[in-house]
Amino acid sequence: MTPIISDTDLITIKEVERSVGLKKSCIYLHISNGKFPKQKKLGTRTVRWVRGEIEAWKKQFL
């Protein structure tokens, strides 16, 4: 059975890096400049990005 991928899926920084072709430091620089979707804090040391927000960013900027 193929897993269903939703726009509301939460993805890790590694998945974001692979998806957009940027390294973590560049992603965080773009976030601080307001040019990249912000991560969602899930715990004290856990953050994730919303897949749909990353896909929308890719369509606009890549």
CA dist., res. 27 & res. 39, Å (int): 10
Angle between helices 51-61 and 13-20 (to 10 degrees): 20
Asked if pLDDT for residue 2 goes beyond 70, the answer is no
In a domain, 23, yes or no: yes
In a domain, 39, yes or no: yes
In a domain, 2, yes or no: no
* pLDDT per residue as tens digits for the range 15-42: 999 999 999 999 999 999 999 999 999 9
DSSP-derived pairing of the beta strands 10-11 and 40-41: unpaired
Enter the tokens of residue 52. 């749909």
Residue 21: left (phi > 0), alpha (psi -120 to 50), or beta? left
In the block, tokens 């960013």 appear at 57
In a domain, 55, yes or no: yes
When divided into structural domains, the chain yields a total of 1
